[in-house]
Amino acid sequence: MNDMIPAWIDDVLTPVEKLEVHIKGLKHKAVSVFVMRGQKVLIQKRASVKYHTPGLWANTCCTHPLWDEAPLDCANRRLNDELGITGLSPVHRDRIEYRADVGNDLIEHEVVDIFVADAPADLGITMNPDEVEDIAWVDLGELTENARKTPEVYTPWLRIYLAEHMDRIFAELARA
């Protein structure tokens, strides 16, 4: 069931092949993580080999959970799989549903558990070239502005998170 992800068909959670989910635009489970260092967020440029949104900048990592995988376990697994990051303590911030065209006649319709994790200054990062082409630490305010000015270089979901859900994801930063 490696390429099977939890998707809803007739309101029943069902394992469905990942590409089929995106072709049909089925609502499915997802996890997104933002790793922060103060006001800076770690973003990644998706590898050019990805079947959708290759070469676009996204949040630290995002994925679909395995069939019986808890969202927090999924967040930690993908931090390690994509960026070699271990030892963080992601905090669940919210669950967000969105639908977006991701190009090539593919649709993301996700119910996403959003996590934020604080990173130490000496955070070790080892990029998986099958997943990540580049990384950058960017001021959250600058990222939000840049995503508005040049949306074509950012994934649809990152643009949605920044434009519509900042307060739900980053409220704790405003109090810091």
Question: Considering the domain boundaries, does residue 150 fall inside one?
Answer: yes
Catalytic residue status for 62: yes
Whether residue 60 is predicted with pLDDT greater than 80 in this model: the reply is yes
Q: Which long-range contacts (CB under 8 A, 24 or more apart) does 170-174 make?
A: 170/34, 170/93, 170/116, 170/140, 171/93, 172/93, 172/116, 173/36, 173/39, 173/140
Among residues 20, 61, 62, 82, the one annotated as catalytic is: 62
Question: Considering the domain boundaries, does residue 102 fall inside one?
Answer: yes
CATH classification at residue 62: 3.90.79.10
Residues of the domain holding 107: 4-171
122: amino acid identity, one letter: D
Q: What is the reported pTM?
A: 0.94
Going by C-alpha positions, the residue among 145, 151, 65, 80 that lies closest to residue 110 is 65
Q: Rounded to an integer, what is the distance from CA 166 to the centroid of its chain?
A: 14
Catalytic residue status for 110: yes
Cβ proximity of 3 and 132 under 8 Å: no
Among residues 74, 82, 108, 110, the one annotated as catalytic is: 110
Total of domains in the chain:
1
Q: Which segments within 61-118 are labelled E, that is strand?
A: 61-63, 91-103, 106-118
Question: Considering the domain boundaries, does residue 176 fall inside one?
Answer: no
Per-residue pLDDT reduced to its tens digit, 33-54: 999 999 999 999 999 999 899 9
